[in-house]
Structure 1
Amino acid sequence: MPDHTENTPRQRIDRWLWCARFFKTRSSAAKFVSTGRLRVNGTRITKASHIVKPHDVLTFPLTNRIRVVEVLTFVEKRGSAIVAAALFDDQSPPPPTPEDRTAASRNPAPASAPDGRDRARIRALKSKS
């Protein structure tokens, strides 16, 4: 039975991330992969030499949002942003709106100051820790 892996296009994950312009340098892409924050088809990857193939789905955090991209194709040399955009299909959820970010960062103000009973509960919780 013939092995079709030789004919299947594939590329190292650090090189692909760099060519797709997610990172400015290949070494920064390799460092990111080594942190373990990248998943390929749901599996955590820590080696920059990991091979990706077409239709692999990459999930990783980048600039305050989670990126979900499907690998479509590869290039030999890093090209323009237009060429890079053709390398993947972005399936990421939409970025949060500015209103969502400010609402999530604020703590709601308490309705009133704690009374004696509330302070006793707080002291009891603090003493347990």
Structure 2
Amino acid sequence: MSAGLRIDKWLWYARVTKSRSPAQKLATGGHVRLNKDKISSASKTVRVGDVLTIALERRVLVLKVKQLGSRRGPFSEAQTLYEDLSPPPAPKTNEINPSVPRRDQGAGRPTKRERRQLDAFRKAD
């Protein structure tokens, strides 16, 4: 049987959370699935090859465990612990009113110069 690591420790090592306390809350709050099974304790064991589905506030992460890790190192080291299988983020929409089309960037309010030109054009009529 292969060695394992507590799921809260692994989430912390992989830099999914900033500390172990939020990692424990994720696990006990039902926001983490281990190989498609919802877990309810932070002491569940994670092994190499397991797939974790983590429901965060604004996105869902799907991570395949490649290594267990032995410490919480820099981000570049944390990325070697998993393979990211997450779906691409959904395209942004106008959340306030989806029926209103989005403007192109830079197509907002006119500048002072453009307002003066518009005023001059309107007075010419």
Q: TM-score range by the shorter chain?
A: 0.7 to 0.9
Structure 1 pair 105/96, CA: closer, same or farther in 2 (3 Å)? Answer: farther
- Select the structure of larger CA radius of gyration: 2
What TM-score do the two structures reach when normalised by structure 1? 0.71
For structure 2, the 5+ residue unaligned runs are 101-125
1:36-47 to 2 correspondences below 5 Å: 36-47=30-41
CA RMSD of aligned residues (A): 1.6
**Counterpart amino acid of 1:33?**
A
Is 1:74 the counterpart of 2:68? The answer is yes
Quick check: 1:54 aligned with 2:48? yes
Q: How far apart, CA to CA, are the structure 2 residues paired with 1:108 and 1:95? A: 21
Residue correspondence of structure 1 range 1-129 to structure 2 within 5 A: 5=1, 8-98=2-92, 101-102=93-94, 106=97, 108=99
Which sections of structure 1, spanning at least 5 residues, go unmatched? Answer: 110-129
Relative to its length, the structure with more helix (as a share) is 1
Judged with a 3 Å threshold, the aligned counterparts in structure 2 of structure 1 residues 45 and 107 are, in CA distance, closer, same or farther, namely same
The residue type equivalent to 1:59 in the other structure is T
| TM norm structure 2 | 0.73
Give CA deviations for 1:30-84 in whole Å, capped at 9, x if unaligned: 0111101210010000100000111100011124111111011011111000000
Number of residues of Structure 1 aligned to a counterpart in Structure 2: 100
> Residue 47 of structure 1 aligns to which amino acid in structure 2?
S
The percentage of aligned residue pairs carrying the same residue is 37
Distance 1:105 1:35 in 2: 30
Query: Amino acid of the residue matched to residue 73 of structure 1?
Result: Q
Residue deviations 1:78-109 (CA, integer Å, cap 9, x gap): 100000000000000011232xx32x653549
